[in-house]
Chain A
């Protein structure tokens, strides 16, 4: 039991930190441009596929650097030549644009790399067990993923709070005109922030690719959960996104490892009707995929602005 708890906590924190890598970019973009980037998870997927292709050509470590840079450049181009032109038509048009983009990216990835998963493997230098707890070997690569996520989290925190660039970005979040009058190019700041946010998502893709499955529907699987994170945490709140990421990461990992069902607890009291019997017999592990959405509905019912959100939209 203790073993289960320790391993699940580690995996849950790991998944949560990966979610946060993406949610942080999404949140900063949302706060700044006011648009929820529907294609954010697509950049995560692009990161994974670029990482796969580049690590084939140059090895894993160069890929870890180059893939996010390329994906970030792509993101900046999307902001400059796509979103900025749509901006005059309002937020719904912007949201629809990113939705169409997500659709197109999925098709293009499918066109280039096919529908089946690609063979993206953990690099040999990290392919060993880091430590053994309760007779389970914990892979070093997962520790590496955790360390990268925490390092980026720390860098992000320091970067936003302590550096000059962070100050300008934070000021542009709330007072874009004032920042513009002070001589900063707000348009370029938006473009760079968008590029930076997508690059963060791509980092998550490069490091998650070998551990999870790299295939053309990975964006579609993760995208909705990402939005749950952002809504549960409170739209535009970075600390909220952090808490919600960890919460959902832990919730899902723990649920997957549990096999109990109503039937196993109450046993013979089961109902006769078939539909109710379905509910009665379903295990916690089976409902793990819908738990984030249940959480979403609960949060919206009892605290519509999200955990740490301040604004009602």
Chain B
């Protein structure tokens, strides 16, 4: 992960920096408050709630991957266990009439995630790198398979349900309507974001970065990398548990899918596509991936394939993720060369888009012929209607791919050239270290 630099923070914050810093968080809080006034439909509120949960989860994942350099394939374990404990907690609170309001329930999930991370993390954080990835996968499979065996706790295939409105009420909030759940999620998202950001600024947060970059050296200066990884793992488990509990509150159910490999994969996708090198990265990724999975699933039946292809494309062409890609343009912008670069992007846009459109068309045709072969060949995907059986469309798809690729290759060299010029200029003006 050496290509990912630590978030560049000033060593000592000046006054204007702190104004900027607090101003930013206040702006985020105001935005969270205003958002439901602009988009007030039920669907939008549900989407926002899901995005908020996804942001907490992706940021907690980034404590492992981005900050400490641990690639986990089993982070959903803590998310799921947090969700299950929250549901059991809600049922217990409702049945024994404990004076605990719903807004505190995510803490139950957080503590559950923390405890399980403390138990399971000791073994897995002994090693880093590839071995850690394999171990996290093994532990995740262990817990996910156990969920189907311990039926009375995990509820088997059906899961465990709860009723969030039956809890102790504070200020007459019933938490029945989605808008109240939205505010609950928004508040927890803001708290969790601030806490996790604060963690990155502590000396311990800096040691995490050091462990990621050079564990041997950390050991040499007198710290135990295992211990630092373990603490990072526990924090990640805590915040994942909060996210899981919020999800359980939102859906009023927890089932074994919460713990599964798909959930672990999704959070990895979100964090990595957004960019693991910067704090903002997983937030962008969580918004992007949640929105995409909701929007794409309406547009096409094989949206998960597009999802996987986007992920592969990000790994191959933008290892810093979306945030990394944007940050790369900062020196170019400051050097005043952004015009040249943008012009080259515009030139590359048309043939590249044509090639991608051809690929999408080809995929949709193949899907039609293999999955829904007996259906009407006039299909609709991405808002376009076409006849999947006509050779004309086949030819069009092939032509778009081939011609698009040939032309696009030429424009990509042009982009690379423009980029080189801009970088040279930025370096000369001293905006690039």
For residue A136, CB closer than 8 A to chain B, the reply is no
Q: Which segment of A84-92, A161-169, A239-247 sits at the interface?
A: A84-92
Q: Which residues of A contact B274 (CB under 8 A)?
A: none
Q: Is the CB of A103 within 8 A of B153?
A: no
For residue A104, CB closer than 8 A to chain B, the reply is yes
Q: Which residues of A contact B316 (CB under 8 A)?
A: 82, 85-86, 97
For residue A144, CB closer than 8 A to chain B, the reply is no
Q: Shortest Cβ distance from A240 into chain B, in angstroms?
A: 14
Q: Which residues of A contact B139 (CB under 8 A)?
A: 293, 296-297
Give how many A residues have a beta carbon under 8 Å from the other chain's beta carbons. Answer: 52
Q: Which residues of B contact A278 (CB under 8 A)?
A: 149-153
Q: Shortest Cβ distance from B141 into chain A, in angstroms?
A: 5
B126, B127, B304, B308: most-surrounded residue (chain A CB, <10 A):
B308
**Among residues 280 to 310 in chain A, which have CB atoms less than 8 Å away from a CB atom of chain B?**
282, 286-287, 289-290, 292-294, 296-297, 300-301, 304
With A and B bound together, what is the CA distance between A82 and B71 in angstroms? 20
Q: Is the CB of B261 within 8 A of A90?
A: no
Q: Which residues of A contact B65 (CB under 8 A)?
A: 92
With A and B bound together, what is the CA distance between A86 and B131 in angstroms? 20
Chief secondary structure at chain B's binding surface: helix
With A and B bound together, what is the CA distance between A228 and B127 in angstroms? 15
Q: Is the CB of B302 within 8 A of A300?
A: no
With A and B bound together, what is the CA distance between A278 and B339 in angstroms? 66
A89, A96, A292, A313: most-surrounded residue (chain B CB, <10 A):
A96
The residue of chain A having its C-beta at the shortest distance from the C-beta of B132 within the complex is A313
Q: Is the CB of A277 within 8 A of B138?
A: no
Proximity string of chain A (29-40) to chain B, C-beta cutoff 8 Å, 1 when within and 0 when not? 010000110000
For residue A274, CB closer than 8 A to chain B, the reply is yes
Q: Which residues of B contact A313 (CB under 8 A)?
A: 127-131
Interface residues on chain B, size class: 35 or more
Q: Is the CB of B366 within 8 A of A112?
A: yes
Q: Which residues of B contact A111 (CB under 8 A)?
A: 302, 305, 363, 366-367, 370-371
With A and B bound together, what is the CA distance between A293 and B71 in angstroms? 19
For residue B205, CB closer than 8 A to chain A, the reply is no
**Among residues 49 to 77 in chain B, which have CB atoms less than 8 Å away from a CB atom of chain A?**
65, 69, 71, 73
Q: A101-B312, A289-B145 are in contact. Are A231 and B152 (CB under 8 A)?
A: no
**Among residues 152 to 197 in chain B, which have CB atoms less than 8 Å away from a CB atom of chain A?**
152-153
Apart from A231-B138, A313-B128, 13 more pairs, CB < 8 Å: A36-B133, A86-B315, A103-B311, A104-B309, A108-B305, A113-B370, A224-B137, A227-B137, A228-B138, A235-B131, A297-B138, A304-B127, A313-B130
Which of B's residues lie within 8 Å of A, judged by CB? 1-3, 65, 69, 71, 73, 123-124, 126-131, 133-135, 137-139, 141-142, 145-146, 149-153, 261, 265, 268, 272, 302, 304-305, 307-309, 311-312, 315-316, 319, 363, 366-367, 370-371
